[in-house]
């Protein structure tokens, strides 16, 4: 069965693009537009993967990953940061904050879903459609 993926992102255009691309690849998506709502949704819905923006109102991505990773029921869910990294040390900062991986912005429609899929166990990947790439 294809994964249920929670997207936590305050930018509407990015949220809609990520949601569209993942749905088109066969995934079920859940969305939240700030960190607090994202953590609440994770607790309620137990998604298979979480994609999380870093800069958000109310609760930023660093606080979100801290909350999720200290919860024994949630800490095994992979949390992927989506961010525009610009400095050489940024990746280390993201990874040491507890994220399981990161994707760089802007979202690349050609490769986004495939890259996200790389963070899922094989049993939760959407089946390849005939003729699809």
Q: Cα angle at 95 between 93 and 125, to 5 degrees?
A: 145
Task: Assess 48 for contact with Mn ion (CB under 5 A).
Answer: no
Three-state secondary structure call for residue 4: strand
Based on CB atoms, which residue is closest to Mn ion, 19 or 117? 19
Task: Assess 34 for contact with Mn ion (CB under 5 A).
Answer: no
Shortest distance, CB of residue 26 to Mn ion, whole angstroms? 26
H or E element: which one contains 35? Answer: helix 35-45
Based on CB atoms, which residue is closest to Mn ion, 12 or 129? 12
Q: Can you tell me which residue has the tokens 């992102």? A: 9
Q: Residues 56-95 vs Mn ion: string with x where CB under 5 A?
A: x---------------------------------------
- CA torsion, ordered 13, 65, 21, 132, to nearest 10 deg: 160
What distance in Å separates the CA atoms of residue 39 and residue 32, rounded to the nearest whole number?
9
Task: Assess 19 for contact with Mn ion (CB under 5 A).
Answer: no
Based on CB atoms, which residue is closest to Mn ion, 3 or 64? 64
Which residues lie across from 5 on neighbouring strands? Answer: 29, 49
- For Mn ion, the binding residue among 34, 53, 67, 117 (CB under 5 A) is 53
Residues lying near Mn ion in the complex (CB under 5 A)? 10, 53, 55-56
């Amino acid at each position: 069965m294809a994964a249920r993926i929670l997207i936590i992102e305050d930018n509407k255009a990015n949220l809609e693009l990520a949601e569209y691309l993942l749905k088109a690849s066969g995934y079920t998506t859940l969305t939240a537009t700030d960190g607090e709502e994202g953590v609440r949704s994770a607790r309620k819905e137990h998604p298979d993967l979480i994609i999380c923006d870093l800069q958000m109102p109310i609760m930023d991505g660093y606080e979100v990953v801290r909350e999720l990773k200290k919860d024994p029921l949630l800490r095994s869910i992979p949390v992927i940061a989506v961010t525009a990294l610009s400095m050489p040390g940024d990746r280390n900062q993201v990874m040491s904050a507890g994220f399981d991986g990161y994707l760089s912005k802007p979202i690349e429609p050609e490769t986004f879903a495939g890259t996200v899929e790389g963070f899922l166990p094989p049993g939760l990947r959407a089946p390849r459609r005939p003729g699809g790439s």
